[in-house]
């Protein structure tokens, strides 16, 4: 087993993780970046959404920052991390400037469209500042920045945090070359969200809540896991689904497999259907708070009875820049935007996660979190905030993690159970399918209890044949590979169980959490 010592260890190499690693290095800290796969592999770098807009305060004044923060808190419905929201809005423009200073060319609103209502974020009523994060063009500058900063990048999955009760002192990773122990004075989790606990997800299927599971094992607090953002997406055989652009709903009709209007088949009157489509044209995610919820109700009903197809008359939307961008993006993906498109409901993002303060600190000493695995938003969240939040909270966490260099790291052992007992893949997929049924439509006590029981069963199987931490040095390549696979299964199960418990604990409907019995 390779042993490394560093000031800061960052787990996850998406936008939040890379921002944290670079911020730590800027403070003079030695930084190790642990990534399960290639760097720049997080949600902000993926092509599953039609555009990765970064919503910002309307200008650089304190008043604009306060206005945006108040709106984020308002749509959080009393469940947001208010102090963190305000801090991130205050830092947003400075962090965007820093990102552009790395050579990442962010796109501004097109000439003549600076006040286009298309730049009003989901759930908002005001035009905000806006920049487009270009995933592919951003990779080169960000990788070059890591190299210049001397950040050591390791390809390994974090199978456990290291430490003692109340104190995290590093990460145990498992990679193709064996185990690696990174002892650090501070650790930053930037592992992404939990939408991948569902089989039907618009994000990366690998985002199965491993950060939440690691944090729970270490004793950190999590909050709001029941708030999983649900959106309609376009199905593609053998390829990742594509998110729908909310701007097109007002010009869209929904039909079932039998050609019948999907709203009519679901028992929704035509006037209410029209109001729902119009209401949904200003926000993409599902929420029980608005009449737009009838759109998801109709899609869910049609999907359960053979499938649902969305047909959009783009002629009604001519001149809207973001609609035209969306149509062009679909064509680039090999999809005809004028054809009937098969749609269904998908998990899109996590609004809850690991509790942090304004500096990215969790409730456990030495442990930080940033990006989607951190709890910032409430029940609903303003559109376009994910990437800018990953950027700003990543830099805050990395900067403050570097300030723990004066604290000697403890030794301690793995804080998660380790096992080399392989869990069959169909068990993992079966849990994801159960999560689809329990989480992507009306949530019932019976369905959630079934999900919790199945998750606990998988977790118990993943914890059999425990590996003695003293034997880690003697594990062969096969055993290390098994331990890595087993850890991903256990983390998926643990995160799913935590989500199910959170859903069961909130009996009222709120935001994307739709309870029905």
- The DSSP line for 324-353 is HHHHHHHHHTT--TTS-EEEEEEEEEES-E
Q: How does DSSP classify residue 509?
A: -
DSSP β-bridge partners for residue 466: 419
What tokens appear for 337 in the block?
Answer: 């935007």
Angle between helices 477-505 and 210-217 (to 10 degrees): 90
pLDDT tens for each residue of the chain, 517 residues long:
899 999 999 999 999 999 999 999 999 999 999 999 889 988 888 755 545 679 999 999 999 999 999 999 999 999 999 999 999 999 999 999 999 999 999 988 765 555 555 578 889 989 899 888 888 889 999 999 999 999 999 999 999 999 998 999 999 999 988 999 999 999 999 999 999 999 999 988 999 999 999 999 999 999 999 999 999 999 988 788 888 888 899 999 999 999 999 999 999 999 999 999 999 998 999 999 999 999 999 999 999 899 999 999 988 888 777 788 788 878 888 889 889 999 999 999 999 999 999 999 999 999 999 999 999 999 999 988 999 999 999 999 999 999 986 566 677 999 999 998 778 889 999 999 999 999 998 999 999 999 999 999 999 999 988 888 888 888 888 889 999 999 999 999 999 999 999 999 999 999 999 999 8
The per-residue DSSP string of 231-270 comes to EEEE--TTS--EEPPGGGGGGEEEEETTS-BHHHHTT--H
**Rounded to an integer, what distance in angstroms lies between the CA atom of residue 276 and that of residue 130?**
27
Backbone angles phi, psi at 399, to 5 degrees: -65, -45
Please, is 223 exposed, middle or buried when counting C-beta atoms within 10 Å of its C-beta (0-12, 13-18, 19+)? middle
Please, is 416 exposed, middle or buried when counting C-beta atoms within 10 Å of its C-beta (0-12, 13-18, 19+)? buried
DSSP β-bridge partners for residue 160: 172
**Domain 2-227+351-414 carries which CATH code?**
3.50.50.60
DSSP β-bridge partners for residue 246: none
Q: Are 149 and 21 in contact (CB under 8 A)?
A: yes
What tokens appear for 63 in the block?
Answer: 């008043």
Q: What is the CA radius of gyration of the chain?
A: 22
Domain residue limits, the chain: 2-227+351-414, 231-348, 417-505
Other Cβ atoms less than 10 A from the Cβ of 185: the count is 25
What tokens appear for 504 in the block?
Answer: 């069961």
**Rounded to an integer, what distance in angstroms lies between the CA atom of residue 189 and that of residue 434?**
27
Q: Kindly state the helix (H) or strand (E) to which residue 209 belongs, with its residue range.
A: none
At 340 the pLDDT is: 94
> In degrees, to the nearest 5, what angle opens at C-alpha 164 toward C-alphas 159 and 168?
60
At 470 the pLDDT is: 83
Centroid of chain to Cα 130? 20
Please name the residue that has the structure tokens 């899609």.
299
Reply yes or no on domain 231-348 having CATH 3.30.70.270.
no
- 63-90 b/e with 16+ CB inside 10 Å = b? ebbebbbebbbebbbebbbbebbbbbbb
What tokens appear for 302 in the block?
Answer: 């049609």
**Rounded to an integer, what distance in angstroms lies between the CA atom of residue 215 and that of residue 348?**
22
Q: Are 405 and 7 in contact (CB under 8 A)?
A: yes
**Rounded to an integer, what distance in angstroms lies between the CA atom of residue 438 and that of residue 445?**
9
The per-residue DSSP string of 260-323 comes to -BHHHHTT--HHHHHHHHHHHTT--S--TTSTTHHHHHHHHHHHHTT-EEEEE-GGGGTT-HHH
**Rounded to an integer, what distance in angstroms lies between the CA atom of residue 444 and that of residue 507?**
9
Q: Are 510 and 503 in contact (CB under 8 A)?
A: no
Other Cβ atoms less than 10 A from the Cβ of 147: the count is 10
Q: Are 195 and 203 in contact (CB under 8 A)?
A: yes
Give the CB-side neighbour count of residue 263, counting CA atoms within 13 A: 19
Please name the residue that has the structure tokens 């809850």.
352
**Rounded to an integer, what distance in angstroms lies between the CA atom of residue 494 and that of residue 76?**
26
DSSP β-bridge partners for residue 33: 10, 153
At 48 the pLDDT is: 54
End-to-end CA distance of the chain: 50
What tokens appear for 92 in the block?
Answer: 């947003």
Q: Find all residues with CB under 8 Å of 98, minimum gap 6, and list them.
A: 395
Q: Find all residues with CB under 8 Å of 111, minimum gap 6, and list them.
A: none
Instruction: Please tell me whether residue 410 adopts helix, strand or coil conformation.
Output: coil
At 376 the pLDDT is: 96
At 444 the pLDDT is: 95
Q: Are 305 and 257 in contact (CB under 8 A)?
A: yes
């Amino acid at each position: 087993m390779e042993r490394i010592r560093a000031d800061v260890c960052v787990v996850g190499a998406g936008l939040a993780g890379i921002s944290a690693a670079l911020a730590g290095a800027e403070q003079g800290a030695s930084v190790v970046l642990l990534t399960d796969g290639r760097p720049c592999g997080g949600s902000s770098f993926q092509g599953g959404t039609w555009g990765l807009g970064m919503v910002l305060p309307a200008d650089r004044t304190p008043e604009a920052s306060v206005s945006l923060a108040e709106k984020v808190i308002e749509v959080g419905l009393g469940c947001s991390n208010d102090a963190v929201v305000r801090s991130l809005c205050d830092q947003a423009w400075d962090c965007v400037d820093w990102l552009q200073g790395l050579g990442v060319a962010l796109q501004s609103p097109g000439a003549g469209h600076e006040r286009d209502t298309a730049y009003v974020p989901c759930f908002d009523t005001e035009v905000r500042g806006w920049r487009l994060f270009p995933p592919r063009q951003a990779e080169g500058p960000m990788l070059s920045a890591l190299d210049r900063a001397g950040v050591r990048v390791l390809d390994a999955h974090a199978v456990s945090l290291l430490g003692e009760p109340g104190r995290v002192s590093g990460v145990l990773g498992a990679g193709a070359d064996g185990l690696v122990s990174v002892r650090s004075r501070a650790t930053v989790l930037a592992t992404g969200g939990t939408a991948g606990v569902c089989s039907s997800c618009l994000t990366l299927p690998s985002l199965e809540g491993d950060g939440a599971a690691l944090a729970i094992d270490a004793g950190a607090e999590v909050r709001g896991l029941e708030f999983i953002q649900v959106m309609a997406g376009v199905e593609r055989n053998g390829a990742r689904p594509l998110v729908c652009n909310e701007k097109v709903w007002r010009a869209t009709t929904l039909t079932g497999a039998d050609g019948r209007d999907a709203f009519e088949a679901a028992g929704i009157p035509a006037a209410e259907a029209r109001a729902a489509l119009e209401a949904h044209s200003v926000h993409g995610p599902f929420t029980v708070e608005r009449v737009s919820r009838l759109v998801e109700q109709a899609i869910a009903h049609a999907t359960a009875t053979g499938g649902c197809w969305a047909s959009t008359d783009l002629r009604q939307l001519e001149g809207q820049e973001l609609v035209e961008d969306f149509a062009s993006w679909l064509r680039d993906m090999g999809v005809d935007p004028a054809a009937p498109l098969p749609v269904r409901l998908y998990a899109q993002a996590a609004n809850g996660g690991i509790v942090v303060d304004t500096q990215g600190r969790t409730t456990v000493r030495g442990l930080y979190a940033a990006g989607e695995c951190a709890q910032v938003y409430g029940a609903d969240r303003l559109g376009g905030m994910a990437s800018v939040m990953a950027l700003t909270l990543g830099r805050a966490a990395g900067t403050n993690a570097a300030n723990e260099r004066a604290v000697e790291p403890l030794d301690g052992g793995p804080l998660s159970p380790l096992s080399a007992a392989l869990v069959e893949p169909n068990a993992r997929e079966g849990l994801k399918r159960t999560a689809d049924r329990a989480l992507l439509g009306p949530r019932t006590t019976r369905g959630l209890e079934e999900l919790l029981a199945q998750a606990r069963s998988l977790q118990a199987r993943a914890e059999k044949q425990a590996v003695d931490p003293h034997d880690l040095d003697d594990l062969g390549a096969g055993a290390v590979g098994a331990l890595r696979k087993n850890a991903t299964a256990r983390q998926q199960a643990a995160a799913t169980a935590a989500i199910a418990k959170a859903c069961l604990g909130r009996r009222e409907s709120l935001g994307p959490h739709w309870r029905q019995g």
